Amino acid sequence: MSRGRFVAAAVAVAVAVGVAALWRSPSVPSTAVPPAVERIEGRVVVAAGAGAVPEGAMVVVYAYSIEGSQAPLAILRQPAAALPLDFRLDDSLAPSAEHRLSGARQVVIGARLGTGVDALSQVGDWLAASQKVVPGTQGVQLVLQPPPK
């Protein structure tokens, strides 16, 4: 076999081995989307007939554990212009490393609409009734109601 053919054959074998190794290598799990059991998905809407939302307001969707500290486990903030808002709460929205949604067995989830950006409600905020859910719940519906007059 001539040297040129030998080099071409060696290159072809090396490429074939490399392609086979890539094909057989296990896929790396994506860290961008947590497993469904570690997130809560739903939608925030404004109650029918509630009127216009305050200009410049923010929607804050939050979850905190029923057991132990009532520190938020996940907080999502979006401008009111995003309503109706489809949301997903997961560990990427945890305010601290020690308070994470994935460690909770049952949580309270809620939403508010107002000028503040904290999870705590303020006078004049529009509120959605909180709900008890387990991580992994999908289809949560949070309905914002204006404050009583």
Whether residue 88 contacts residue 40, with contact meaning beta carbons closer than 8 Å, is answered with yes
> 3-state DSSP: the chain helix, strand, coil percent, rounded to 5?
25, 35, 40
The DSSP bridge pattern shows strands 140-145 and 40-46 to be parallel
Class of domain 36-145: mainly beta
Closest to 46 in 3D by CA, of 19, 10, 84: 84
Per the DSSP assignment, residues forming a β-bridge with 140 are 42
pLDDT tens track for 45-73: 999 999 899 889 999 999 999 988 888 99
Q: Give the containing element (helix H, strand E) for 110.
A: strand 107-114
Answer yes or no: pTM beyond 0.85: no
Domain-wise residue ranges, the chain: 36-145
Q: Hey, how many other C-beta atoms are within 10 angstroms of the C-beta on 92?
A: 15
pLDDT in tens, 66-113: 988 888 999 999 999 999 999 999 999 999 888 889 889 999 999 999
